[in-house]
Structure 1
Amino acid sequence: MASMVKRHNKNGKRILDAGKSTTKPAKKPRISVDSSEEDELIEAPSNFAPKFEDEVEEDELDQLDEEESDQLDDNDENEKIEQENDDDMERDGKHKEQRKLLRDRKQSRKSGTQVQQIKNLWEKLRIKSAPMPKAERQKLADQVWELAKDCISDLVLKHDASRVVQTLVKYSAKDRREQIVNALKGKFYLLATSAYGKYLLVKLLHYGTKNSRQAIIDELHGNLRKLMRHREGAYVVEDLYVLYATNEQKQQMIREFWGAEYAAFKNSHKGLTIEEVCESSVEKRTIIARNLVGTITASVEKGSTGFQILHAAMRELVHIANEKEISEMIELLHEQFAELVHTPEGSEVACNLISRANAKERKIIIRALRDHAEALIKNEHGNEVFITLLLCVDDTVLVYKSFGPSVKEHLKEFIVHKYGRRPFLYILVGLDGKYFNPHVIKNFDRYVEMSKATSKKDSLQRRLELLEKFAPLFLQTVLHHHSEILSENLGSQFIAELLVNDELYDQLKEKDRTVFEEVVDRIAVTFKGDITEADHPIHKSFSTRLLKSLIQGGKWNNKEKKFEALHKVPILGVSFAEKFYENIIDSSNLLDWIENPDSSFTIVALFESLQGRKESKQFFNDFKSIKNKIDSDESNKGANLLLRLVKENKV
């Protein structure tokens, strides 16, 4: 008999394993014989047939016994399932009892009944899926307040009840919010250090008035240093400083980090900078520095390095720190240095530390920042930190090796990025006022001056060394992505500074100068085509300015109000103008270029650049043949200027 393995499904029914036989075993086949064998068969032993029948009968009995056994197993399984169901019912009963006991306990607590009623109303008040009429929402808010105003202190520190008060603050009128703030006076520190209460405090700051915010700041004053070391409280102080405090309130908060004296007498040093306070006494400087170091160290160890208020405290310290304290700060922050650069205060701290660090400490800082190169360079404040590295670090090989791979990967993005392009414009042209405002230049000059204590190289020498290393990257990127870069105003401006640059060409090796020439040719070919088409690059003013610089072989110095011609780039100026006319413009479309207001000034540049050159006979011959056809439309200033030049030079 084929064996069967019993299993049961979730309903208790027996199932069989797949592939196992469930049929009765087949009977033994009858023997077919010839008539010649019939007598021999009759004389066969008499026990042959009965034996066969007995075997069949035993097999059938075995099967019946097995089926009966299966049935018993089924009964056992059903009993087991019934027992489990009984156990589940018993457990459900216990859970119901526990839930009832929990409800009874909540009801028996102080204000338990009011809290339950408040929560029932809150469930309706907080609905967002369907807009609720303002009058109805106001009615619900009034009902919640009437129930909550006498027990609000019991609500604000609990998980679900605190959310009730948050919703009430959100949907209440200005006077009601003032009432809530007044009701919670004396508990703001407790709220700030509560896992649930801190959210309510932030809501009060967000929706509160100027007076209510000042009340919260005044009550927390004296405890800010303690809160900065608290896991929950630090977030409240950070939000208060970054989002809600006025400039005067921020100064009040920062002065508290100077020490207990400045917390207790918060108005005694109002309007004074930390440098002015420390000038009066060496002892005061020592005490303030010690207090700041203590707060900063504890906060960094708590994981608050990225907080802007902590960056503000660090900025206060670096303004008065001696060399030992600077080294200690670098040692403390070297692993989290990248967390400083995203805020204005943190960026200033990082720049000060870089400029005053020694060579070994600068290597540590570079190592901490190199894995964050893309975010650092694109960040509004982070790119100032990167430029400070370029300005102050003598080891330009280390700078290039650390940041070069990331720059190579993302340079196409950096070139057209508002902030990302600035470090590379510095490498190309220095701290040009065209790209850096006077305040930023003043700060960079200050960092360079501070770096002289630990740096040996001149700033210009460092920049030229960096230019030599980064220039091939610039050229290769422009060569492969010139069309995309030219389509952007910032990109076109970068290409102009790259190509119209004596310093860069002077730093290039022979193989890189070949790439330079190829880039110039690619730029020229970009302007080939029908200028009447709307997508032709000549219709973009920044492209026209680039083309004009290449034809003239120089650029306009806006500061000194004069044109500065190139002296070391032989393929620009006259050489480029001749090549451009031969390959891009000819007699067939010269008139189109003159009569198009967007391209007419390009022809003016060609005229001025090629005038008096023997090699440029073709241009002037073609020009003479069409000059009488030029339409002197007043709107086309370039064409009118060209006709005036023709008249003055008697062409």
Structure 2
Amino acid sequence: MSVKQRGTKRSVESSKTSPVSKKAKLEESSDDVSSESESESESDSQTDDSDSEKESEDELDNIENDIKDDSEISNDKTNDHADAEYTGDSSENKQTSKEKHEEQKKLLAERKLKRKSGIEVQRIKRLWERLRVKNPPMPKEVRDKLCDEIWSLCEGVIGDLVLKHDASRVVQTLVKYCSKERRDAICLALKSNYYNLATSAYGKYLLIKLLHYGSKESRELILSELHGKLRKLMRHREGAYVVEDMYVLYATAKQKQQMIKEFWGSEYAFFRNAGEEKTIVEVCNESAEKRKLIASNLQGTIKASVEKGSTGFQILHAAMGEYIQIFEGQEVRDFIEMLQDQVAELVHTPEGCDVACTIIARATAKERKAILRGLKEHAVTLVKNEYGQMVLQVIFMTVDDTVLVNKTFSHEFKEIINLIIANRFSRRPFIYLLNGLDKSYFSPLVLKDIQKYMEASKETSKKDQDVRRKEILKNYIPLFYEAINNDPYTLLAENMGAQFSLELLLNNDFPELVDEPRKKLLSSIIDSIKGDLEKEDHLLSKPFTSRLLKTLIQGGKWNNKEKKIVKVEGLEEYVGVSFAKQVAEELFDDGQDKDALKMWISNNQGAFVIVSLLDSLGKDSNFGKKVKKSGKFIKKQDESNKGAHLLANVLSL
């Protein structure tokens, strides 16, 4: 009867076999012991690891595990007593079991020593137990000495150690603490073993350590040896993680390009310089046969990796990014069908974001419905992500079924609107809803990408873009006002929150929906800037607050190209002169206007706000006359108060 190893697949016993206790199993002869592979996660492709020496070592590992388990049972008197009652063993039988247990331990120790490099392994492990101690910290000279001793024992037999679960950890520790020269020596000693390490459940950790701590030359050695095997590794359960780490963390830009080109086909896997300096589009334009072959190879690699559960890997996203540049016809439909339920796995990387945006842009109405259904539970993560927010914006700009869009995301965003509008990434799709593709918020590179997706969506998106934008905005604009009015000071104290509040107040798409909320928010802004300007937490201590006030007082934004203020039409009732009057009355006409005015003039940012009030209300207005009366005070201001000096120039003092 075979001893079952914990942590591995258990052999299925015949249904007719009666259950046997663990102690009874240990009484069987150790010669009858058989076990499964040392690694529980070996790939199906590795079916040739059946040499007799490894089987013998695996047997010993299984016996050792069961002996340890039985030892724990034997040392527990309560369990011994309960076991004796259950089995009806006499004390004589228990003694016999202990004797057999000791015999098995002795046999195991003898067999371990007979293993290949068995004596060295035992000595290495004893030194390793000392080397890996972290507390108390070990002196460097002691650690270096231990490293030297371990290396002297490992040298020449390191290839026999790295695939074993215990000995591999020894080499990992050695790599971590030894010198650069010794790491390079270890890399050279393991040459021609890197594929085996990458596909080993234990060896892969050593390979990652070598990449992490190794030199530039060592990494190049490892990548060179694995070149040509990446497609095979991507289909391997263990190897896929090694390839991902190599690509994301350790490969240079040129090495990344070579790794991706390997997925194009055998020619590029065999010849590292094949297609050098050419993009996939340029190569595919050379002939239709070449395009078809490369597309087929990429599609096969992507499909196999997705089926293996590797959809979230960045290297796979990069391969998909190559494929979407050349796929056509039915290939587009097949690709979208394969990924429509897994778009959420793509949005956390720049390459994956590009893929997700492309398939959303090119998807049909039915395919988009499936994509949105898969994104619903990930809505919050999507909008907060640096790249995911772009995916949400492309959805806003391409999906004609705006009812479905609102139904998918509104409920998920409702409770966190206040967080969304104050975040540098998550606010961007909603800035688009308020103000379109304003160049103040979208860089030329982002606008170029968006234009690419808009071109791709022309076949499937029929609704006018501005109509689509307003239909979605109508659902969100009341939520924006509600979130800011509930806690105006907190949001206005943040640069992002203040910017969003300004765009919200200057939007005039739905005046009938936001008349009262807009008035309330404008009053809240004035209330928030009252008080002593010298206080550290006063809103005017933030430069963006003065920009917010000046824009509202002027009734529009400064156009640098035209060198003038572009006023927003239809908002005269709320901003511009009307808001300037409200600010002047509430801040400076309360019976203490003289002191309040001096306090604002002596504050640099406050003085700039007063200049904008004069521009809006006029120097001859009642407010302008009050400011002129403080002319002497204005002239006395320090050179650092640039706002006061500008104010003096405006008043011709």
Q: TM-score normalized by structure 1? A: 0.83
User: Which of 552, 576, 581 pairs up with 1:578?
Assistant: 581
- Which residue of 1 is the match for residue 644 of structure 2? 639
Show the counterpart of 2:445.
Answer: 439
The answer on whether the counterparts of 1:527 and 1:538 sit within 8 Å (CA) in structure 2 is: yes
Secondary structure in 2 aligned to 1:320?
coil
Match of residue 507 from structure 1: 510
**How far apart are the structure 2 equivalents of 1:277 and 1:511?**
55
Amino acid in the other structure paired with 1:192: A
Matched, 1:319 2:325: yes
Tell me, yes or no, if the aligned pair for 1:467 and 1:507 is still in contact at 8 Å: no
Q: Deviations over 1:391-427 (max 9, x none)?
A: 2112222211211112221111111112111111111
Shift of 1:140: 1.0
Percent sequence identity over matched residues? 53
Residue identity matched to 1:608 = D
Q: CA, structure 1 residues 486+270, in 2 after alignment: closer, same or farther (shift >3 Å)?
A: same
Give the drift of 1:86.
4.8
Aligned to 1:58: none
Moved more, 81-90 or 444-453: 81-90
Matching residue of 1:3: none
Unaligned runs of 5+ in 1: 1-76
Residue pair 2:619, 2:625 contacting (<8 A) in 1 also: no
- How many residues are treated as equivalent by the alignment? 564
The one-letter amino acid of 2:535's match is E
Cα deviation 1:420-475 (Å, max 9, x = unaligned) = 11111111222222222111110001111111111112323322322222211111
Contact 1:506–1:568 (Cα < 8 Å) also in 2: no
Question: TM-score, with normalisation over the residues of structure 2?
Answer: 0.83
Give the equivalent residue in structure 1 for 2:252. Answer: 246
Distance in 1 separating the partners of 2:91 and 2:587: 90
Separation (CA, whole Å) in 2 of partners of 1:293 and 1:166: 37
Q: What is the distance in 1 between the residues matched to 2:168 and 2:536?
A: 61
Partner of 2:612: 605
Q: Which structure 2 residues correspond to residues 455-604 of structure 1 after superposition, within 5 A? A: 455-499=461-505, 501=506, 504-508=507-511, 510-569=512-571, 570-586=573-589, 587-588=593-594, 589-604=596-611
Aligned match of 1:110 in 105, 116, 120? 116
- C-alpha separation in 1, matches of 2:624 and 2:283: 73
Q: 2:175·2:209 contact (CA, 8 Å) conserved in 1? A: yes
Cα separation, partners in 2 of 1:189 and 1:590, compared to 1, 3 Å: same
Pair 83,284 (structure 1): closer, same or farther in 2 beyond 3 Å? closer
Name the CA distance, whole Å, in 2 between partners of 1:279 and 1:158. Answer: 49
1:215 to 221, 225, 240: 221
Following superposition, the deviation at residue 92 of structure 1 comes to 3.0
Q: Secondary structure at the match of 2:557?
A: strand
1:515-574 Cα deviation digits (max 9, x unpaired): 111111111111122323332212211111111111111111245443211221121111
Structure 2 CA distance for aligned equivalents of residues 138 and 577 of structure 1: 74
Q: Name the SS for the 2:310 alignment partner.
A: coil
Is 1:420 aligned to residue 422 of structure 2? no
Query: Are 1:258 and 1:292, in contact at CA under 8 Å, matched by a contact in 2?
Result: yes
| CA distance in 2: counterparts of 1:552 and 1:523, whole angstroms | 15
- Of the three residues 194, 205, 211, the one matched with 1:199 is 205
- CA 1:425 to 1:143, structure 2 compared with 1: closer, same or farther past 3 Å? same
What is the distance in 1 between the residues matched to 2:223 and 2:202? 19
Q: Whole-Å Cα distance in 1 between the matches of residues 98 and 563 of structure 2?
A: 89
Give the alignment of 1:53-64 within 5 angstroms.
Answer: none
Structure 1 stretch displaced more, 516-525 or 639-648: 639-648
* Secondary structure of the corresponding residue to residue 231 of structure 1: coil
Farther-moved stretch of structure 1 (325-334 vs 635-644): 635-644
Match of 2:176 among 160, 170, 174: 170
* One-letter amino acid of the structure 1 residue matched with residue 372 of structure 2: I
Query: 2:403 aligned with 1:397, yes or no?
Result: yes
Corresponding residue to 2:378 among 363, 367, 372: 372
Aligned to 1:143: 149
SS at match of 2:605: coil
> Quick one: distance in 2 between partners of 1:134 and 1:647?
73
Give 2:588's aligned amino acid.
I
Classify the secondary structure of the residue corresponding to 2:264.
coil
Aligned CA distance change for structure 1 residues 627 and 144 (closer, same or farther; 3 Å): same
Q: Which has the larger radius of gyration?
A: 1
- Offset from partner CA, 1:211-258 (integer Å, 9 cap, x none): 221111111111111111110111111111111111111111111111
Distance, in Å, in 2 between the alignment partners of 1:224 and 1:560 is 56
Counterparts of 1:402 and 1:584, CA distance in 2: 45
**CA deviation string 1:10-31 (max 9, x = no partner):** xxxxxxxxxxxxxxxxxxxxxx
Q: How far did 1:636 drift?
A: 2.0
Distance 2:608 2:164 in 1: 73
User: Structure 1's 305 and 559: CA in aligned 2 closer, same or farther, altered over 3 A?
Assistant: farther
Q: CA deviation at 1:80?
A: 7.7
Correspondent of 2:107 among 74, 90, 101:
101
Structure 1 residues 85, 576: closer, same or farther in 2, change over 3 A?
Answer: farther
Picking from 180, 184, 191, the partner of 1:185 is 191
